[in-house]
Amino acid sequence: MNKQLSIIGVPMDLGQMRRGVDMGPSAIRYAGIVERLENLKYTIEDLGDIDIKRPAQKDDNKLDNLRNLNEVAEGNHRLAETVDEVVGKGDFPLVLGGDHSIAMGSLAGIAKHYDNLGVIWYDAHGDLNTGDSSPSGNIHGMPLAVSLGIGHEKLTNILDYQPKIKPENIVIIGARSLDEGERILIKEKGIKVYTMHEVDRMGMSEVVEETIEYLKERTDGVHLSLDLDGLDPEEAPGVGTPVMGGLSYRESHLAMEMLFQSKMITSAEFVEVNPILDEKNKTANMAVGLMGSLFGESLK
């Protein structure tokens, strides 16, 4: 694994409606991410936080069913430029959210550097909505569609190219809440999804093994986009859109450990940590623990 890490915080909460997720990067830093990874002999450069501009008035500008479209697009543009630089100089970008809309910026900055970037989307949700299909108008429910080039131009065209990724290079793990339009898109595009049903039946070990095999054949880099609401809300309560029946602590650590062993992850983001909804920073601690496993912690 690349030993040069650049940490980028993104205090973004405009992709959804619950306040507090903009404090995710602070909570994760407070939970000790830098020390944790330094112990594993990584060289870490913390680039601080991306500047996220709030809308001028407290407006609920929902043009085209896309809440805070301009601010979300601008913030993601800045994130994309930073990530682009990090990847350009050969570092591993580790992005800390912030709501999941920031995956648009991360992927825009990363995918430029690959012909076939793979994406593992670890999440209760598909985040495959558009303004037309979204039940909420919240852009954090749209970044995967946007990265496929589906959605509003201001979002799909960040860094002036699209699409960022191809449907056959995506694997979704942990899904248990998919909207109608998302299901249609998954079928239409042939996106690989391991819902909770498959995780229950096959076990996480086989799910990740298959995922690694599948992506190894077709990708030249893999981005891990981990939404903490992929985990069960009992174990990760500090998230804005919890869904019962999620992935366990152990399943998630196993997945991270196997991904470390695969040596295939080239960038990662951990999103949706909301300290205001959390219990004593439990969810940020969970995120840091999972990063520990992803970057090679083990007992042997």
Ligand X SMILES: NC(=[NH2+])NCCC[C@H](N)C(=O)O
Active-site residue set: 100, 123, 125, 127, 140, 227, 229, 272
What is the DSSP track for 14-33?
A: TTSS-TTGGGHHHHHHHTTH
- Contact 105/80 with Cβ under 8 angstroms? yes
Q: What mask, x for binding Mn ion by CB under 5 A, covers residues 60 to 99?
A: ----------------------------------------
In the complex, minimum distance from the CB of residue 100 to Mn ion, in angstroms, rounded to a whole number = 4
Residue 135 interaction partner, one of ligand X, Mn ion, none, beta carbon < 5-8 Å per kind: ligand X
The position carrying tokens 């979704």 is 172
Nearer Cβ to Mn ion (37/126): 126
Q: Segment near Mn ion (CB under 5 A), from 32-40, 120-128, 161-169, 257-265?
A: 120-128
Q: State the Cα–Cα distance between residues 263 and 269, nearest whole angstrom.
A: 16
In the complex, minimum distance from the CB of residue 93 to Mn ion, in angstroms, rounded to a whole number = 18
Sign of CA dihedral 26, 31, 32, 36: negative
Q: What mask, x for binding Mn ion by CB under 5 A, covers residues 95 to 114?
A: -----x--------------
Q: State the Cα–Cα distance between residues 261 and 71, nearest whole angstrom.
A: 38
164 lies in the site for Mn ion, by CB under 5 A: no
Binder to ligand X among 82, 106, 138, 267 (CB under 6 A)?
Answer: 138
The position carrying tokens 């670890």 is 122
Residue 81 interaction partner, one of Mn ion, ligand X, none, beta carbon < 5-8 Å per kind: none
Q: Among 57, 26, 10, 37, which Cα is nearest to 293's? A: 37
Q: State the Cα–Cα distance between residues 123 and 247, nearest whole angstrom.
A: 9
- Contact 12/32 with Cβ under 8 angstroms? no
Q: Which of residues 24-43 bind ligand X (CB under 6 A)?
A: none
Binder to ligand X among 229, 251, 257, 297 (CB under 6 A)?
Answer: 229
Q: Among 51, 21, 221, which Cα is nearest to 138's? A: 21
Residue 156 interaction partner, one of ligand X, Mn ion, none, beta carbon < 5-8 Å per kind: none
In the complex, minimum distance from the CB of residue 235 to ligand X, in angstroms, rounded to a whole number = 16
118 lies in the site for ligand X, by CB under 6 A: no
In the complex, minimum distance from the CB of residue 136 to ligand X, in angstroms, rounded to a whole number = 3
Residue 141: both structure tokens together = 């429910």
Residue 124: both structure tokens together = 């209760």
125 lies in the site for Mn ion, by CB under 5 A: yes
136 lies in the site for ligand X, by CB under 6 A: yes
Q: State the Cα–Cα distance between residues 292 and 286, nearest whole angstrom.
A: 10
Residue 76 exposure: Cα atoms within 13 Å on the Cβ side? 32
In the complex, minimum distance from the CB of residue 127 to ligand X, in angstroms, rounded to a whole number = 5
The residues binding Mn ion (CB under 5 A) are 100, 123-125, 127, 227, 229
The residues binding ligand X (CB under 6 A) are 100, 125, 127, 129, 134-136, 138, 140-141, 179, 227, 229, 241, 272
